[in-house]
Amino acid sequence: MTKNALKQRVFDVISKAEEGDRASRAFDLTVMALILLSVAMIVLESFADLAARFGTLFSVCEAIIAAVFTAEYALCIWTADLLYPGEEHPWRKYVLSPMALVDLLAIAPFYLPMLGIRFLRTLRLLRLFRLLRVFKLHRYFDALQIVVDVLRSSASQLIISIFLCLFVMLFSAIVMYTVENPVQPEQFPNVIASLWWAICTLTTVGYGDVYPVTAVGRLFASVISLVGIGIIAIPTGIIAAGFSTAINERGRRRDEDARLYCPYCGRRLGK
Amino acid sequence: MTKNALKQRVFDVISKAEEGDRASRAFDLTVMALILLSVAMIVLESFADLAARFGTLFSVCEAIIAAVFTAEYALCIWTADLLYPGEEHPWRKYVLSPMALVDLLAIAPFYLPMLGIRFLRTLRLLRLFRLLRVFKLHRYFDALQIVVDVLRSSASQLIISIFLCLFVMLFSAIVMYTVENPVQPEQFPNVIASLWWAICTLTTVGYGDVYPVTAVGRLFASVISLVGIGIIAIPTGIIAAGFSTAINERGRRRDEDARLYCPYCGRRLGK
Amino acid sequence: MTKNALKQRVFDVISKAEEGDRASRAFDLTVMALILLSVAMIVLESFADLAARFGTLFSVCEAIIAAVFTAEYALCIWTADLLYPGEEHPWRKYVLSPMALVDLLAIAPFYLPMLGIRFLRTLRLLRLFRLLRVFKLHRYFDALQIVVDVLRSSASQLIISIFLCLFVMLFSAIVMYTVENPVQPEQFPNVIASLWWAICTLTTVGYGDVYPVTAVGRLFASVISLVGIGIIAIPTGIIAAGFSTAINERGRRRDEDARLYCPYCGRRLGK
Amino acid sequence: MTKNALKQRVFDVISKAEEGDRASRAFDLTVMALILLSVAMIVLESFADLAARFGTLFSVCEAIIAAVFTAEYALCIWTADLLYPGEEHPWRKYVLSPMALVDLLAIAPFYLPMLGIRFLRTLRLLRLFRLLRVFKLHRYFDALQIVVDVLRSSASQLIISIFLCLFVMLFSAIVMYTVENPVQPEQFPNVIASLWWAICTLTTVGYGDVYPVTAVGRLFASVISLVGIGIIAIPTGIIAAGFSTAINERGRRRDEDARLYCPYCGRRLGK
C-alpha cells in the first residue's frame, strides 16, 4: 500500500462512515463510546467515594481517551489536504475551523497540568471543555442546522428581547430592593440580591428562597409576574415565527418547479 | 343464525359503533365505563384504609374487568379475518398490531401473579400498564391524529432540541457542582444531585429544595434561567410551526379543487 | 312622550352608547362603576376588620347594586321587542340568551337568602357569580371575539392535548406514588396526593411542598419535567397556529377583491 | 466658524453617528459609557459598605453625569430647528416628543432635592427614572422596531387576554379564600392575600410560600394550574402569530417587485 493510498484510507475511516465501510463505522462507534465514557467519568468522579476507590482507573481511562482524541486530531491535520483539496495551506485551514478548535479545547485540559499549571480548582473548571466533545455528535444530526438557522435569522430580535428582559429585571430589582430592604434586610441586602429574586420571578422559576412580604412588594411582584409571561412569550413568538417561516420556505422551494408553469399550455402561472 | 352471520354480528358489535346499532353502542359504553372504573380502582387502592376495607371488592372488580377484556381480546382474534379480509394469517396480523399489543399489555398484569411470579413491588409497577387501556379512548378522537402527525413531522427537530437541552443541563450541573459543592456539600454532593437542580431550573419548575447560595453560583444560575426560557421556546416554536403548517395544509387541500385546473386553458394541472 | 317613544328612548339608553348620546353614556359609566364597586366589595368584605366596621355599609351598597341590576334586567325584558324586531316571543328569546342568563346568575345570589335558604358557606360561594357581571365589559371589546373564535376553532385539538396531559399526570402520579410512598409516606400517602405533585410539576408551578427524594423518584421527576415542557408547548403551539391562521385569513379576505382579477386585462389571476 | 455652522456641527455630533464622523462617534460612546456607569452606580450604592466608603465619589459621579445629560438636553433644544426643519416651534415640538420627556425624567431626580424636597424614601424611588436613560440605547437597535410593531399591532388582543387573565385570577382568589381561609387563616387571611397565591400559581412562578392544603383547595388549584397553561399560551400565541405575520409581510414586500406586474398583459397591477 503506497503512502497516498494509506492516507486516503485513513481519511475515509476518520470521516463520516459510508454505507458498507466497516472500519470507518467501527471508528465512529468507538469515538462516540469514548465521548459518552468521558462524560460519564466527569459525573462519576464527583462522587467522593467513587473518586477514592476508582481514582487510578479514572486517571487511566482519561489518559487513554485523551490519547485517542490527540491521535485523531493529528490524523485530521495529516489528511487535511484531502478534506480541503486545492487549498494552499490545508492543515492551517483545518486547525482554524470551528470544529477543530472545539476538538483542541476538548483535549487541552488533559495536557495543561503537564505544563506545570496545577491550580486544582481552575483545572476542574477547564475539564468542562471536555463536554464540548459531545458536540461531535452533531455531525450526525442534520436537523440541528434548521434550529441553528432559525436562531441565527432571528438573532437580532432575540437579542433585543433579551435586552428588554434584562432592563425589566434590573428595574424590578431596584424597585423591590427599595420596597423590601427596610422590612427584610437579610433577604434583600442590596440590588444584586434583589436581582436574584427578579430573575427567579421573571423566568417563572420561583425557588421560593426570596419573596416579598410587604403589601407594596407583593403588588409590584404580581405586576412583574404578569410582565414575566410577556417576557417569555416574546422570544417564544420570535422562534415560533422563525420555524414557521423556515418550514414554509422549504415547502415552497419543493413545490416551486411543479407550480411555476402550467404543464400543458406552458404559460407561467400568476403565483 | 349461521356461524358466519354470528361472527359478522360479533365483529360489528366490538368494532366502533355505527349510527343506530344499539348493541354495538352499549358494548362501547360498557368498555369505556370499565376503563374508567379500572383507572379509578388504581387510585382508590392506594388509600391504605380503603384497601383494607374494600380489598375483596377491588379484587372481584379487577377479576371481572380482566375477564371482559380477555374475552374481547379473544373475540378480536376470532373475527380478525373480517378486519383484515384477504389476509393469509389475519389473527397473526391482529396480534402484532400496535393496538392489540397495548390490549395484551393491559390484560397481562392480572395473569402474571397466577404464573407464580409474586414479587409484590414489581407487580404494582406492572399494574401501570393497565393505564394503557385508557388509550383505547383514542379510537373516538380524530383530532389526536393531527397532534400525533405534527409531533411526528417535527420529530427530528424536537429530538435535537431535547439533545441541546440535555447538553445545557449536564453542562450547568457540572459548573454548579464545581461552584457550590465546597459551600453546600450536603445540597450539591455530586454531579447527579446538581443535575436535579439543573433540570428543576431549566424546566422552570423550581421546587426550591436546592438552590445556589454563592455569588458565582447565583450569577451562573441567572444566566442558566435565561437560557431556560430559550430551551422552552425552541420546542414550543417547533410545535407551533408544525400546527401552523398542518392547518394551512388542510386549508390548501380544501381549496385545491378550485386550483387544480389551469385557469386559462382549463386543463387539469399535473399536481 | 308616547309610550312607544319612551320605550325606544329607554332601549337607546340601556344599549351600547352611541356618539353624542349623553344619557346612554352616563348609564354605561354608572353600570361599569357599580360592577367595579361590586367586585371591590367582595374583596373588602374578606378583611375581618373591615367586615366588622363597615358591615352595614356593605349590605346597603349590595342592596343598591342588586336593585339597579334587577331594574336593568326588567327594562331589558320590557324592550326586548326592540332588540329582536319581528320575533314572536322577544322577551323569551332575551331571557334565554347567554348574556341574560349571566345577568340573572349575577343578580340571583342577592335574592336567594330571602327565599329562606341561609346556608352561609354556600351563599358565600354563590356570590362568586356576581363576578360574572364583569363579563358585561366584553360588550366593549371586539377583540375578545377573535380570541374566542381561535379557542373554538382549535377546541378539539386543545381537548385532546388536555386529555394527553391528564393521562401523563395520572401515569406519573401512580409511578411516583409507587416509588416515593415507602420513603416519604406522609408526603405521598396515596395516588391523589401524588397527583398534586404531578400537576405542580407538569404545569411547572413547582411550589416545593412535595418533591421526590429517592434517586429513582428524582430520575423519573426529571423525565416528567422535560415532558412537561412538551405538555405546555402543545396547547401553546395550537393556539399560536390558530391566531396565525385567523390573522392571515382576515388579511387575505381584505386583499381578495384587489387581487382576484387583473384590473387592466380583467382576467382572473392564477392565485 | 459661523454660528449656523457651529450649530450644524453640534447637531451632527449629538445625532446618531455617521460613518467616519469621529467626534460624533466619541460623543455616542461617552453617552453610552455614562449610562452604564449611572446604572452601575444605582446597583453599587445599594451595598451598605460601599455607600459608606465611596459615598462622596458616587455623589461626584452623579453630579457629572447629570451635568452632561443636562447639557445634552439643552443642546438638543438649541438645535431642534435642524431636527424639525420648517416647523414653527421646533423646540416646543422637541420638548414634547416622547424621547425628550424620557430624557427630562431621567435628569429630574438629580435636581429635585435642590428644590427643597428632601423626603428621602421618595427620592430613592424617583432615582429609578434614571434607568430610563438606558432606553437611549434603542436608537442603536433597529430590530426593536419590529418587536414594538408586533406588540402594538396585537395590542387589543393582548389587552383582552390580560383582562381574561385578571378575571381568572380574581375568581380563583375568591374561591381559594372561601375554601382555605377556615383551615389556614394566617396564610389566606383575605382575598388580597389569596390573590397573591393566584398570581403566583397562574404565572407558574410558584414560590411555595402559600399553597392549599385542603382536598377541595388542591383540586381547585389543580384545575387553575391547568388553566394557567392556557393563560400563558394565549399571549404567546398572539405574539407568535404577530411575528409570523410581520416576517411574512417583509418577505412579501421583498418579492413584490416580481409580482407587481400582471404576467399576461405586462401592466403594473393596482396594489
Taking only the tens place, the pLDDT of each residue in A176-226 is: 888 888 899 988 898 888 899 999 999 888 888 888 988 888 988 998 888
Cβ atoms C165, D226 nearer than 8 A: yes
**Half-sphere exposure at residue B81, Cβ-oriented, CA atoms within 13 angstroms:** 7
Q: Which chains touch D (3 or more CB pairs under 8 A)?
A: A, B, C
Contacts of C13 (CB under 8 A, 6+ apart): C21, C23, C24, C27
Same domain, B164 and B105: no
Domain for residue C267, yes or no? no
To probe the interface with B, which of A166, A239, A265 has the most B CB atoms within 10 Å? Answer: A239
- Three-state secondary-structure class, residue C152: helix
The answer to whether the Cβ–Cβ distance between D211 and C209 falls below 8 Å is yes
Calpha distance D192→A35 (Å, rounded): 54
pLDDT confidence of residue C113: 64
Burial class of A254 by CB neighbour count within 10 A (0 to 12, 13 to 18, 19+): exposed
pLDDT confidence of residue B271: 42
Same domain, A46 and A86: yes
> In this model, does residue B108 exceed pLDDT 60?
yes
pLDDT confidence of residue B228: 79
Which region, left, alpha or beta, applies to residue C14 given φ > 0 means left and ψ of -120 to 50 means alpha? alpha
Residue written as grid cell 438552590: B211
Any idea which of A225-229, C17-21, C216-220 has the lowest mean pLDDT?
C17-21
Q: How far is CA D104 from CA D28, D95, D139, in A?
A: 18, 9, 17
Calpha distance B114→A142 (Å, rounded): 50
Q: Closest residue of D to A235, CA-based?
A: D240
Contacts of B140 (CB under 8 A, 6+ apart): B16
Contacts of C160 (CB under 8 A, 6+ apart): B141, B143, B144, B147
Same domain, D135 and D167: no
- Centre a 10 Å sphere on the Cβ of residue C41 and count the other Cβ atoms it contains: 20
Q: Which residue from B167, B204, B264 is facing A205, i.e. has the nearest CB? A: B204
pLDDT confidence of residue D123: 47
pLDDT confidence of residue C233: 82
To probe the interface with D, which of A150, A238, A267 has the most D CB atoms within 10 Å? Answer: A238
CA geometry: angle at B179 spanning B173 and B183, to 5°?
A: 120
Taking only the tens place, the pLDDT of each residue in B217-265 is: 898 899 888 887 887 788 888 888 888 888 777 766 666 545 555 555 5
Contacts of C176 (CB under 8 A, 6+ apart): C188, C194, C197, C198, C212, C217, C220, C221
Burial class of C82 by CB neighbour count within 10 A (0 to 12, 13 to 18, 19+): middle
CA geometry: angle at D263 spanning D259 and D264, to 5°?
A: 155
Give me the mean pLDDT over the D236-255 stretch.
77
Same domain, B167 and B77: no
Any idea which of B186-195, C225-234, D105-114, D252-261 has the lowest mean pLDDT?
D252-261
Same domain, C25 and C127: yes
**Residue A230 phi/psi, 5° resolution?**
-65, -40
- What is the biggest distance separating any 2 CA atoms in chain B, rounded to whole angstroms? 83
Domain for residue D146, yes or no? no
Same domain, A62 and A162: no
Of D109, D103, D28, D105, the C-alpha closest to D73 is D103
Highest mean pLDDT among A33-37, A87-91, C195-199, C206-210: C195-199
What rounded mean pLDDT belongs to chain A? 77
User: Among the residues of C181-205, which ranges form H helices?
Assistant: 191-202
Highest mean pLDDT among A1-5, C58-62, C164-168, D100-104: C58-62
Calpha distance C222→B199 (Å, rounded): 6
The answer to whether the Cβ–Cβ distance between B131 and C201 falls below 8 Å is no
**Considering only CB atoms, which chain C residues are within 8 Å of D195?**
43
> In this model, does residue D144 exceed pLDDT 60?
yes
pLDDT bracket for residue C197 (50, 70, 90): very high
The answer to whether the Cβ–Cβ distance between A225 and D200 falls below 8 Å is yes
DSSP type of residue C16: P
Taking only the tens place, the pLDDT of each residue in B138-154 is: 444 567 778 888 888 88
How many residues are given for chain A?
271
Give CA A262 to chain center in angstroms: 46
Taking only the tens place, the pLDDT of each residue in D166-182 is: 878 888 888 888 888 88
Calpha distance D93→D80 (Å, rounded): 8
Any idea which of A105-114, A124-133, C45-54, D54-63 has the lowest mean pLDDT?
A124-133
pLDDT confidence of residue A197: 92
Domain stop point among D112, D140, D168: D140
**Considering only CB atoms, which chain A residues are within 8 Å of D196?**
218, 222
Taking only the tens place, the pLDDT of each residue in C65-104 is: 888 888 988 988 888 888 888 888 888 888 887 777 777 7
Calpha distance B232→B42 (Å, rounded): 33
Residue bearing the bigger pLDDT, D18 or D86: D86
> In this model, does residue D234 exceed pLDDT 60?
yes
First to last CA, chain D: 50
pLDDT confidence of residue C44: 85
Q: How many CB pairs under 8 A join B and C?
A: 137
pLDDT confidence of residue A79: 87
Calpha distance D234→D241 (Å, rounded): 11
Same domain, A129 and A217: no
Calpha distance C38→C106 (Å, rounded): 11
Q: Look up residue C121 and give its amino acid.
A: R
Measure C167 CA to nearest chain B CA, in Å: 8
The answer to whether the Cβ–Cβ distance between C222 and B134 falls below 8 Å is no
- Centre a 10 Å sphere on the Cβ of residue A36 and count the other Cβ atoms it contains: 13
- Centre a 10 Å sphere on the Cβ of residue A83 and count the other Cβ atoms it contains: 17
Report the CATH number at residue C110.
1.20.120.350
- Three-state secondary-structure class, residue A47: coil
Same domain, A167 and A62: no
Domain for residue A177, yes or no? yes
Q: Closest residue of C to D168, CA-based?
A: C131
Measure C180 CA to nearest chain B CA, in Å: 12
> In this model, does residue D141 exceed pLDDT 80?
no
> In this model, does residue D11 exceed pLDDT 80?
yes
- What is the biggest distance separating any 2 CA atoms in chain D, rounded to whole angstroms? 83
> In this model, does residue C134 exceed pLDDT 50?
no
Report the CATH number at residue A176.
1.10.287.70
pLDDT bracket for residue B197 (50, 70, 90): very high
Contacts of D230 (CB under 8 A, 6+ apart): C158, C235, C239
Domain for residue A145, yes or no? no
Cβ atoms A268, A260 nearer than 8 A: yes
Share of residues in chain C with pLDDT > 70 (%):
77
Domain for residue C149, yes or no? no
Burial class of D19 by CB neighbour count within 10 A (0 to 12, 13 to 18, 19+): exposed
Contacts of C17 (CB under 8 A, 6+ apart): C24, C25, C27, C28
pLDDT confidence of residue C198: 92
pLDDT confidence of residue A128: 54
Calpha distance D219→D203 (Å, rounded): 18
Rg (CA), chain A: 27
Rounded to two decimals, the pTM is 0.80
Cβ atoms C178, C172 nearer than 8 A: no
pLDDT bracket for residue B269 (50, 70, 90): low
What is the torsional sign of CA B3, B7, B9, B10? positive
DSSP type of residue B268: B
> In this model, does residue D106 exceed pLDDT 80?
no
> In this model, does residue B117 exceed pLDDT 70?
no
Domain stop point among B140, B167, B188: B140
Q: How far is CA D193 from CA C127, C206, D184, in A?
A: 19, 19, 12
C-alpha cell at B113: 401473579
> In this model, does residue C137 exceed pLDDT 60?
no
Cβ atoms A11, A82 nearer than 8 A: yes
Calpha distance D157→C145 (Å, rounded): 9
Same domain, D19 and D87: yes
Q: Which residue from D144, D203, D242 is facing A225, i.e. has the nearest CB? A: D203
pLDDT confidence of residue D151: 86
Calpha distance B93→B80 (Å, rounded): 8
To probe the interface with B, which of D219, D236, D262 has the most B CB atoms within 10 Å? Answer: D236
Q: Which domain holds residue A250?
A: 156-259
**Residue A190 phi/psi, 5° resolution?**
-155, 180
Calpha distance D190→D198 (Å, rounded): 12
Domain for residue C270, yes or no? no
Q: What is the 3-state secondary structure (H, E, C) of B196-258?
A: HHHHHHHCCCCCCCCCCCCHHHHHHHHHHHHHHHHHHHHHHHHHHHHHHHHHHHHHHHHHHHH
Domain for residue A149, yes or no? no
Same domain, C34 and C83: yes
Q: How many domains does chain D have?
A: 2
DSSP letters for chain D: --HHHHHHHHHHHHSPPPTT-HHHHHHHHHHHHHHHHHHHHHHHHTSHHHHHHHHHHHHHHHHHHHHHHHHHHHHHHHTHHHHSTT-SSHHHHHHHSHHHHHHHHHHHHHHGGGGT---HHHHHHHGGGGGGGGGGGGGG-SHHHHHHHHHHHTHHHHHHHHHHHHHHHHHHHHHHHHHHTTT-TTTSSSHHHHHHHHHHHHTT---SSS---SHHHHHHHHHHHHHHHHHHHHHHHHHHHHHHHHHHHHHHHHHHHHHSB-TTT-PBP--
Residue bearing the bigger pLDDT, A124 or D7: D7
Residue bearing the bigger pLDDT, C202 or C163: C202
What rounded mean pLDDT belongs to chain D? 77
pLDDT confidence of residue B91: 85
CA geometry: angle at A31 spanning A28 and A33, to 5°?
A: 110
The answer to whether the Cβ–Cβ distance between A211 and D207 falls below 8 Å is yes
Residue bearing the bigger pLDDT, A161 or C261: A161
Q: Characterize C203-238 residue by residue with b for buried, 16 or more Cβ atoms within 10 angstroms of its Cβ, and e for exposed.
A: bbbbbbbbbbeeeebbbbbbebbbbbbbbbbbbbbb
Taking only the tens place, the pLDDT of each residue in D122-133 is: 444 455 554 554
Q: Which chains touch A (3 or more CB pairs under 8 A)?
A: B, C, D
pLDDT bracket for residue A122 (50, 70, 90): very low
Same domain, C239 and C123: no
Q: Looking at chain A, which runs of residues are DSSP E strands?
A: none
Paired residues of C268 in beta bridges: C261
> In this model, does residue C257 exceed pLDDT 60?
no
Give me the mean pLDDT over the C206-217 stretch.
88
Q: How many CB pairs under 8 A join B and D?
A: 12
CA geometry: angle at B234 spanning B229 and B237, to 5°?
A: 115
The answer to whether the Cβ–Cβ distance between D141 and A157 falls below 8 Å is no
Residues of D with CB under 8 A from a CB of B: 204-208, 236-237, 240, 244
Burial class of D68 by CB neighbour count within 10 A (0 to 12, 13 to 18, 19+): middle
Q: How far is CA D75 from CA A27, A110, B205, B210, D70, in A?
A: 69, 59, 51, 54, 9
Taking only the tens place, the pLDDT of each residue in D162-220 is: 877 887 888 888 888 888 888 999 889 988 888 999 999 998 888 888 889 888 889 88
Q: How far is CA A23 from CA A20, A32, A69, A79, D31, in A?
A: 9, 14, 17, 17, 62
**Considering only CB atoms, which chain D residues are within 8 Å of A269?**
263
pLDDT confidence of residue D191: 85
> In this model, does residue D240 exceed pLDDT 70?
yes
pLDDT bracket for residue A266 (50, 70, 90): low
pLDDT confidence of residue D252: 67
> In this model, does residue B182 exceed pLDDT 80?
yes
Q: Look up residue D112 and give its amino acid.
A: L
Domain for residue D265, yes or no? no
What rounded mean pLDDT belongs to chain B? 77
pLDDT confidence of residue B192: 87
Give me the mean pLDDT over the B87-94 stretch.
85
Same domain, D49 and D89: yes
